[in-house]
Structure 1
Amino acid sequence: MSLGYGVPTFADNRSTADNPKPMTGDVFLPLPCGGEMVLRYVYVLAQGSLDDREVSLGYPFSEDEPGYKQSFISGYRRDFINGQFTPDDLPAAWRKTIKPLLPKTDASTPLKPMLYFIGKYEVTARQYAHVMSQARSPASGESSPVCQDPEGMLGRLPKVRLSRFEAERFAAVYSGWLMRNHPDLLPVSGRGQRDDGGVGFVRLPTEVEWEYAARGGQAVTRQELEGRLFPRRREGSEEDGPLGDWAVFNQVAGGNGQAARLMPVGTRQPNPIGLFDVIGNAAEMVQESFQLVHAGRRHGSYGGFIAKGGNYLEGEGTLFTGMRREYPLFAADGSEQRNETTGLRIAIGALSAPRSRYKELFEQWQKEGRLASLTDAIDDAEDPTKRLDSIIAASADPELQAELGRVNEELKRNVSLIARQREEAAGNLIQSSALVAETISNYNIRLTNLRNSQQLATDANDHASARLFAAAIRNGTSALDGAVAIYLDNLATGTRYTDAVIRAQFQRVREDLIRKPILGKSLVARATLFVSHVEHYRQQNRADPQKILKELLASASQP
């Protein structure tokens, strides 16, 4: 059975109050007093820990849209995302569950999945109570109190009415309890010693982690990731279902009379990566302080705390994945601010630079901003930026050395920006070339049908129709030749990018195309052939149009 956007489900003995909707890919951490915290994996394809992916946050309001006047709060902006863990960093049980679900990689694939983990559900009142029952024992030496569950269904409701400080305290208490009692069940960044800072810990998700996961993460196409809401597919349909099947919100305005109230976690459908209630029900705090949106970026001042995803009291028109609210840390009377509508979802973090990863990070950092990354014409050993490093190191003039150092860093920064733009352009080239190849196939099918029709008209002595078909065939042949010429131009353009860039971007494009429900498989085959053609063009410095066309049409006929 499939649930939501193609996420498989299964039934096993974990189907408890803590995991009402078990799914393939669930991973677990134990809770005090029994039970478990369920998490979902999110990954980014990257060349390592220092690499990251640019993503959109917020929403690009137009002037006639509701919300336009608050674009400085939830408007469109760019940010970057990466994970902190490789598959080898995971505890054995997590690795066994997740590794078969990740993209297959080997020595020929430059990009590897970098993972982070986020709560499948909002933290419930029961989970909160059980964790916080451990809060006194570490400091006081007292034994933990007897665990008590909230009465009835209250324990399955999201925990709300807690302050930002209490959310942080929950994460700290839970992290401490896990590290003391179950350290072997936590991921370790870099798989180093557990005391080098790489051991995973519980925290709130960052805003970009929350939003990337809420939008569908690795499970959706790049275009879908830019959407106002995550895709809400029903099995057998390509149309989005009603938001009410995925979110708890105030539907009274819609006329069905349903009262707005907080609901137990997991009563609706999951988003594409298996997260429940990211929209509606309880709003969710994130790690950072609030910053305004300014010219497509975050503003330089900091405010209160951020709540994401909207809540059960809001109407459908105000709910979208980029939505955010700002709340003060303190109420007017000086008490900690608590909202009836705001709860939390956990994430698993670690140090970004544990000692076990220093060597890897330094080697990646040294490669950043090198001119050799832009073209195969520059040998890595002869890179001018490396020679400039040597000149700076050999200089005996401190002022000259400092000035050259500033120039060198600015040069590297600009080379890195150009490299990122070229990577994006290379990915677009591969994807557009796959579409051109698909067009060539369609033109050829149309020409074949026209020729068959012309032959039938000729056999029937219908000369007028035969002449019309002949004219259509000439026009179709011209269109086909034009598309082939565009494809050949794209091949030449492809050789301007390094082989490493083409291979890395093909891997990203392939992951994106394969998620397209109708043409995905066909476009992946055509992108694969295009990359092969680019490599041949790179070696021969030429391409045979007839041979290229023959190979394109042959690939179209394969199942």
Structure 2
Amino acid sequence: MKSDLRIRNLAPMQWFFAAALCCALLLAPCASQSALAALARKADVSTADAYNPKPADNDIILPMPCGLSMVFKLVAVPAKGLLWDMPMRPGVDDSAHQDRAFYDRRYNTALSGAFTLEDLPAAWRKQAPQGQNYFYLVAKYEVSNLQWHAVMDNACPDTANPGADAARPATDMSWYDAVDFTRRYTTWLLQNAPDSLPRFAGDQRNVGFVRLPTETEWEYAARGGQTAGSQLLLQEDFFALPTGENKADYAVYRPEQGARAEGMANIGSRKPNPLGIYDTAGNAAEMVLDAFRFSMAGRLHGSAGGFVRKGGSFLSGDAEILPGRREEMPFFLTDGPAHARDLGLRPVISGINTPGGGRPQELTAEWNKAGEKLAPLAQDGQTARNPLDELDRLLAAAPDEASRKNLQDLRNTIKENNIMLERQKQLEAQSLLRTGVYMIETIRNYSSRRNSLKTQIESMEREKASAKGAALEKLKQILDTANRGLVMLDTSIEKSLTFYRSKVEESALLAPEVLAAADASLAKDFSGNDPFNENMHRNLELYRLHVDAVRKNKTVSREAMQKAILERRFQ
């Protein structure tokens, strides 16, 4: 009764607050249960979330222990043969961080794949792009906790009710643990699903295997792989982003501006890169097979240290998530093998370079052809005599073994030099075509400026008729300057056309396969659907029309070239 009396005797405002407090206390359990239920729903993770949350038609899916799967993407590397490769310049030229130049600066290397198209299972071949390519596979996602435990534990994890962290990247393992994961997974595949791995034709012993990627393999895939042209691979710091999007759409990280990640997200929580793989920027950093070496003067330093860590993590800033960023991790610390809470892995599938079957004969045949037919053009346009042919005649007539050895050493040196020259020719061909494409734009810009200036001159000439005194003198000075500018633009157009025609004629002398490869590479560079890339792609088509005309000995006058450039006739 005392409590009732106290309530009745409360002032009106006190009564209001007391009633509100009672309601809050009564409703609090319901509100808490509702919030907890919402959080539980948010934390719900399905088994698919832990291995393929974003399925795609071109996924290559391999089985795993405990009924799980791992998804891969086919990576194609263009090359003209087994002994050829694609030049690469991994790293990043980050002028804002010059104190890290010897860590990150781009260096020269090359890339190819261990598999030919014939080595791939028939279903995978449908994913291969046109042209001559060599292949490896890269995991679509970082290895998740559920996948890690399925391979590394003696018992299967609970796949029916996976925990909240099951779909997050597996981290906090050493480099040796990561290598052991790839060993165990390959062993399981060989025992339980041997047909899921690539095999070499005619070779009953060798087979594809899972391993950590090399730094170059990782970076090529992270930049977009075969979807990226040479200019993007060699010059840009990130893969091409669609208009209106930024890195935060593709990476879980801590940008200087905007929302900052407080922890790792589930695999595949952001958008994929152009190759269709997720989280190469941010979320968990990824370890690779290579030892870390400094980048000095365009090459890697001789001292091999720890291993390379790529891609940055949820703890990283803008500069640290660039594909070319290179960080060193120790293999060991004082307490044992090194590991980090934000470092995981993304495996690849590759194979050996020297399998059995018919591959040894193919390699030998390619080596015998390499550098043998490269010969300069004589001044009259006829092919000069091949110095290797001359050396072969001398070798056949060598009087003794010492002379034969010296001649053979000389022949090997010339052959190696020819191979280097042939590789250089491909890069020069790309540069030649790119120059021609940009010259078309330069000529158009000069012409546009000329037309604009001419219109202004005509307007000032009309004004001059009514101008008097100081205004007339000022107008005459402006007209004199404008007319000299008009002459300069006419000269610029003339010189640019001369230079453009010289590039067309140089391109017409390229071997057909070299020209085609350079054209295909530039077509990738300008494959975007924005106005700039569409325009540059049309420029490339026009340039090829002019080159093809010259190759067929058709007469293309300067006037016709200029008209086609300015009118954008691409038929």
Query: Could you tell me the TM-score, scaled by structure 1's length?
Result: 0.79
1:203 alignment partner, one of 211, 225, 228: 211
Change (3 A) 1:207 1:372: same
Which residue of structure 1 aligns with residue 520 of structure 2?
507
- Quote the offset at 1:286 in angstroms: 0.9
- Quote the offset at 1:205 in angstroms: 0.7
Q: After superposing the two structures, state which structure 1 stretch, 160-169 or 350-359, moved more.
A: 350-359
Which residue of structure 2 aligns with residue 140 of structure 1?
none
1:225 alignment partner, one of 229, 233, 258: 233
Which residue of structure 2 aligns with residue 188 of structure 1?
199
Change (3 A) 1:127 1:459: same
Which residue of structure 2 aligns with residue 491 of structure 1?
504
Q: Tell me, what secondary structure is at the counterpart of 1:188?
A: coil
2:111 alignment partner, one of 55, 60, 81: 81
2:88 alignment partner, one of 45, 55, 74: 55
Q: Tell me, what secondary structure is at the counterpart of 2:124?
A: helix
Which residue of structure 1 aligns with residue 361 of structure 2?
359
- Quote the offset at 1:463 in angstroms: 11
C-alpha distance in structure 1 between counterparts of 2:303 and 2:240, whole Å: 36
AA at the equivalent of 1:211: E
Which residue of structure 2 aligns with residue 419 of structure 1?
422
Change (3 A) 1:379 1:327: same
Change (3 A) 1:516 1:430: farther
C-alpha distance in structure 1 between counterparts of 2:87 and 2:327, whole Å: 23
8 Å Cα contact 1:221-1:516 kept in structure 2: no
- Quote the offset at 1:211 in angstroms: 1.1
8 Å Cα contact 1:371-1:384 kept in structure 2: no
AA at the equivalent of 1:345: R
Deviations 1:131-150 (A, max 9, x none): 2357xxxxxxxxxx455448
8 Å Cα contact 2:215-2:290 kept in structure 1: yes
Change (3 A) 1:505 1:386: farther
C-alpha distance in structure 2 between counterparts of 1:348 and 1:229, whole Å: 26
AA at the equivalent of 1:83: G
Q: After superposing the two structures, state which structure 1 stretch, 536-545 or 297-306, moved more.
A: 536-545
Do structure 1's residue 249 and structure 2's residue 249 form an aligned pair?
A: no
- Quote the offset at 1:81 in angstroms: 1.3
Q: Map 1:308-457; keep pairs closer than 5 Å.
A: 308-333=310-335, 335-355=336-356, 356-370=358-372, 372=374, 375=377, 383-389=386-392, 391-392=394-395, 395=398, 397-441=400-444
C-alpha distance in structure 2 between counterparts of 1:126 and 1:374, whole Å: 60
Do structure 1's residue 174 and structure 2's residue 185 form an aligned pair?
A: yes
Change (3 A) 1:542 1:373: farther
- Quote the offset at 1:226 in angstroms: 4.1
Which residue of structure 2 aligns with residue 4 of structure 1?
none
8 Å Cα contact 1:231-1:240 kept in structure 2: no
- Quote the offset at 1:371 in angstroms: 5.3
Q: Tell me, what secondary structure is at the counterpart of 1:155?
A: coil
8 Å Cα contact 2:145-2:169 kept in structure 1: yes
Which residue of structure 2 aligns with residue 285 of structure 1?
287
Which residue of structure 1 aligns with residue 221 of structure 2?
213
Which residue of structure 2 aligns with residue 70 of structure 1?
100
Q: Tell me, what secondary structure is at the counterpart of 2:171?
A: coil
C-alpha distance in structure 1 between counterparts of 2:447 and 2:163, whole Å: 66
Q: Tell me, what secondary structure is at the counterpart of 2:287?
A: strand
AA at the equivalent of 1:153: A
1:164 alignment partner, one of 164, 170, 175: 175
Which residue of structure 2 aligns with residue 130 of structure 1?
150
AA at the equivalent of 1:71: A
In the comparison of the two structures, how many residue pairs are matched?
511
Instruction: Report sequence identity in percent.
Output: 31
Which residue of structure 1 aligns with residue 40 of structure 2?
none
Do structure 1's residue 517 and structure 2's residue 530 form an aligned pair?
A: yes
Which residue of structure 2 aligns with residue 113 of structure 1?
133
8 Å Cα contact 2:252-2:314 kept in structure 1: yes
C-alpha distance in structure 1 between counterparts of 2:454 and 2:92, whole Å: 49
C-alpha distance in structure 2 between counterparts of 1:290 and 1:431, whole Å: 34
Change (3 A) 1:558 1:493: closer
Which residue of structure 2 aligns with residue 5 of structure 1?
none
Change (3 A) 1:468 1:357: farther
Q: Tell me, what secondary structure is at the counterpart of 2:423?
A: helix
- Quote the offset at 1:210 in angstroms: 0.5
Which residue of structure 1 aligns with residue 52 of structure 2?
19
8 Å Cα contact 2:288-2:310 kept in structure 1: yes
AA at the equivalent of 2:77: V
Change (3 A) 1:196 1:365: farther
C-alpha distance in structure 1 between counterparts of 2:344 and 2:327, whole Å: 13
Which residue of structure 2 aligns with residue 32 of structure 1?
65
Which residue of structure 2 aligns with residue 272 of structure 1?
274
Q: Tell me, what secondary structure is at the counterpart of 1:37?
A: strand
Change (3 A) 1:516 1:299: farther
- Quote the offset at 1:203 in angstroms: 0.8
8 Å Cα contact 2:307-2:328 kept in structure 1: yes
Deviations 1:436-483 (A, max 9, x none): 234445566677788999999999999999x97996877665544333
Change (3 A) 1:456 1:69: closer
AA at the equivalent of 1:91: P
8 Å Cα contact 1:232-1:240 kept in structure 2: no
- Quote the offset at 1:508 in angstroms: 1.8
- Quote the offset at 1:155 in angstroms: 1.3
Which residue of structure 1 aligns with residue 76 of structure 2?
43
Q: After superposing the two structures, state which structure 1 stretch, 306-315 or 494-503, moved more.
A: 494-503
Deviations 1:22-71 (A, max 9, x none): 23432211112212111122222221222211111122344xx33x3333
Q: Tell me, what secondary structure is at the counterpart of 2:89?
A: strand
Q: Tell me, what secondary structure is at the counterpart of 2:238?
A: coil
- Quote the offset at 1:542 in angstroms: 6.8
C-alpha distance in structure 2 between counterparts of 1:433 and 1:177, whole Å: 53
C-alpha distance in structure 2 between counterparts of 1:510 and 1:156, whole Å: 38
Change (3 A) 1:518 1:46: farther
8 Å Cα contact 1:371-1:378 kept in structure 2: no
Q: After superposing the two structures, state which structure 1 stretch, 512-521 or 207-216, moved more.
A: 512-521
AA at the equivalent of 1:193: G
Change (3 A) 1:446 1:401: same
8 Å Cα contact 2:74-2:137 kept in structure 1: yes
Change (3 A) 1:361 1:293: same
Q: Tell me, what secondary structure is at the counterpart of 1:493?
A: helix
Q: Tell me, what secondary structure is at the counterpart of 2:354?
A: coil
Structure 1 segments unaligned to the other structure (5+ residues): 1-12, 106-111, 135-144
- Quote the offset at 1:123 in angstroms: 0.5
Q: Tell me, what secondary structure is at the counterpart of 1:505?
A: helix
C-alpha distance in structure 2 between counterparts of 1:444 and 1:318, whole Å: 43
AA at the equivalent of 1:174: Y
AA at the equivalent of 2:354: A
Which residue of structure 1 aligns with residue 123 of structure 2?
93
2:298 alignment partner, one of 296, 314, 317: 296
Change (3 A) 1:393 1:74: farther
Q: Tell me, what secondary structure is at the counterpart of 1:286?
A: strand
Q: After the TM superposition, which parts of structure 1 deviate over 6 Å for at least 4 consecutive aligned residues?
A: 445-465, 467-470, 472-475
Change (3 A) 1:313 1:448: closer
AA at the equivalent of 1:523: M
Q: Tell me, what secondary structure is at the counterpart of 1:168?
A: helix
AA at the equivalent of 1:183: P
C-alpha distance in structure 2 between counterparts of 1:501 and 1:347, whole Å: 30
